[in-house]
Structure 1
């Protein structure tokens, strides 16, 4: 299926702008800065926007502090977020105060307190806590369809009707499972498999190896969308960077499946777009 839809033009431009400021931050004074914190299973991403909600800086780091959407290394999470915060503050020459964060759908009662404490423990004032697919839609601006966020540990699904989220679900299966399959197939350690997976030059040969896991993700999607008149699927999350994943999901679900050019940064940017100066 196609990877760049006309609906993604604004999204892709925002992501391109963010990729540029990760490499070279915009050192132009802003009255306020808004930070989005994405605590992923594989990566922790910080996205910083200025007073006009335009990207000015960003940083990310591979981390093992979250498993299946839940924080398992609380101290480690605080340490990494604090270090990334300090790194960006030094580059921008200012203190970052306000932040928003997100968590997989359906986990608010289980983990919202932990995520809030991580953000505060790193030195931020938290202003918004929302679910990841809703955050992603702040960038995608989808009116109807299913947003599927395939992260490192879980697959989150949000079904939208007339721009409103009417159903959310989250199930364990994501990039971690992809890496475990690669490790087994190629006799690699888990970390080596992670590195191998991240190299786009290996994606073509990995697709047949990973097809059973992608089909499992597709079956999860099918199970959750079957009761709703979903016409299209939109993919986000770092695991969706795998070239060709959208083609298999489209074939298995029999639904048009789209993904932006870099699905890894959609949710962090959406989290940042939801940040305000009103402390919760």
Structure 2
């Protein structure tokens, strides 16, 4: 691992570790300035809050089914959850959270950007940025060359960068939902129970062989998009990548060194918050 890569990984892991701490114990900003990121994920909605120095000060998340394949399917439910999370954090911080940024999967800008904006505005935010998820993730990863693979609840998003520029963006309908369906079928348990079982790290060693075929399918999707480019490194983000050992299988199937932060679930939410400003759209 190069020195530059070590520094990138160290920064990402430290930022995420700091965020995990303030989820449990929020820290008030001395200036009262806050920047919020709203991540409307397929299986989880995350609010991340930074102070004026772009340091994590608070956060909250809730598992939900208001988004499917990157598209909001329960508009009122999404507003209700974002509103509740916002109010909970405001009570802990003793301040109004006014400004926020949000993001959406690549390729859905023309279809869903208005809905995302309406959700966060209906929850009481003033939106200052609406960006694609890979751009948000890269605010944390700081990649100039390589592929960001975002395995979310409904889709796998792939972004290829060369010299700091995005040269390819794709989104395929294979993600955590498919992993959960495999667990549900293999163990004969309801989808909700299978999802909980999958998220428990204690079960990951047992589940890895069961889920290997789905991981290999993701790997084949990644291979398809990286093949035309000279991709030397793959970076994993998204809640599904929390599965212990997923990076080993993807690296083996793609033949490309594959890395992931210690908690890839929070990369995109933090990147969204890093893109928040005080200039309203």
Of 155-164 and 138-147, deviating more is 155-164
User: Pairwise mapping of residues 59-74 of structure 1 onto structure 2 (< 5 A)?
Assistant: 59-74=60-75
Q: Gaps spanning 5+ residues in structure 1: where?
A: none
> What's the counterpart of residue 255 of structure 1?
256
Deviation at 1:114, TM superposition (A): 0.6
Deviation at 1:30, TM superposition (A): 2.5
Cα distance between partner residues in 2 of 1:16 and 1:160: 26
Distance 1:129-1:49 versus aligned 2 partners, 3 A rule:
same
When the two structures are superposed, what TM-score results if normalisation uses the length of structure 1? 0.97
User: Pairwise mapping of residues 75-154 of structure 1 onto structure 2 (< 5 A)?
Assistant: 75-154=76-155
Cα distance between partner residues in 1 of 2:28 and 2:55: 13
Q: How many residues align?
A: 277
When the two structures are superposed, what TM-score results if normalisation uses the length of structure 2? 0.97
> What's the counterpart of residue 175 of structure 1?
176
Cα distance between partner residues in 1 of 2:259 and 2:250: 10
Matched, 1:22 2:45: no
Matched, 1:223 2:224: yes
> What's the counterpart of residue 204 of structure 1?
205
Distance 1:31-1:93 versus aligned 2 partners, 3 A rule:
closer
Cα distance between partner residues in 2 of 1:267 and 1:146: 15
Cα distance between partner residues in 1 of 2:105 and 2:264: 16
- CA deviation digits over 1:53-89, x for unaligned, max 9? 1100000000000011111001000000000000000
Matched, 1:13 2:14: yes
Q: What secondary structure is seen at the aligned counterpart in 2 of 1:75?
A: helix
| RMSD of aligned alpha carbons | 1.0
Q: What secondary structure is seen at the aligned counterpart in 1 of 2:121?
A: helix
Q: Gaps spanning 5+ residues in structure 2: where?
A: none
Cα distance between partner residues in 2 of 1:203 and 1:37: 28
